[in-house]
Amino acid sequence: MRALPNWLVTTLSVLLVLSAWILVTQMGWVRDLFLPGPRDLWLGFEELWEDGYKGRSLFEHLGMSLLRVGAGFLTGAIAGTALGLAMGMSRRLDAAAAPFIEFLRPLPQLAYLVLLIVWLGIGEASKITMLFLAALPVAAVAARDGVRNIPPERIRMAESLGASRGQIFRHVIAPSALAEILTGARLALGIVYGTLIASEIIAGSNGIGWMILDAGRFLRSDYAFVGILVIGVTGVLIDRLLLWLERRVVHWAGR
């Protein structure tokens, strides 16, 4: 028997989940408060689309969340990548910085959010700083490992041809480590996106995460589910964008 193509398996799995969702809600096996049906969810989306939530449109809430993600992710990924490249090229710097990176990487971001609020206030600075700290160690480790995984023969060959340290970095080290750097960026973005929602829930007055929590307080589970779907869809789209960029920039990876 011929194996089913992957796209068909994906389609069937999505249809199976949707069918189960429609069945349990239409039959009344689960109350709308716990799991809104497709019609209730669509009506809730229409209300948010037309009227917004608490004085802001749905796009404004989403835009605030994406701005925080962009600011925290870009600064953290750039700083982490630069640090990781330097750590990969210098064993002394790696020995000095690695303990702090390895300590920060598994540390739950909410553990130091309270301190950031005390130090920087409840505004945007504490949220963006937390997102920066979430992205930095992941990007640093990916860049460092990318440099360390470069075959030594490539560097020795460039040295034998008379290349300077700067030329070796630009033409050998950076391109060879780029695949792992972009993979680390995708991982960092996922962590930053999940951390953003937590930061908005604890210290926010707008954004998709705050909207979900506030809607839950008033038992508007349809609004909460709409927010969850918006988060999931935008997260997948951003990840697909990074994956497309990775395939375009490092199209030679794995060959």
Handedness of CA 252, 74, 107, 89 (dihedral sign): positive
Can you tell me the mean pLDDT for 153-164? 82
Q: Report the candidate in 109, 193, 96 with the shortest Cα–Cα distance to residue 140.
A: 96
Please give the model's pTM, rounded to 2 decimal places: 0.83
pLDDT at residue 231 above 80?
A: yes
| pLDDT score, position 203 | 65
Q: Give the residue-averaged pLDDT of 165-190.
A: 86
Residue 251 has a pLDDT of: 65
Q: Please write the tens of the pLDDT for every residue from 81-134.
A: 999 999 998 889 989 999 999 898 888 877 787 888 888 887 788 888 989 999
pLDDT at 252 over 70: no
What domains does the chain contain, in order, with CATH numbers? 41-249 (1.10.3720.10)
pLDDT of res. 142:
93
Token pair of 185 as six digits: 């960026």
Instruction: Determine the 3-state secondary structure of 56 from DSSP.
Output: strand
Cα–Cα separations (whole angstroms), residue 232 to 38, 193, 209, 227: 17, 10, 12, 9
- Which stretches of the chain are assigned E, i.e. beta strand? none
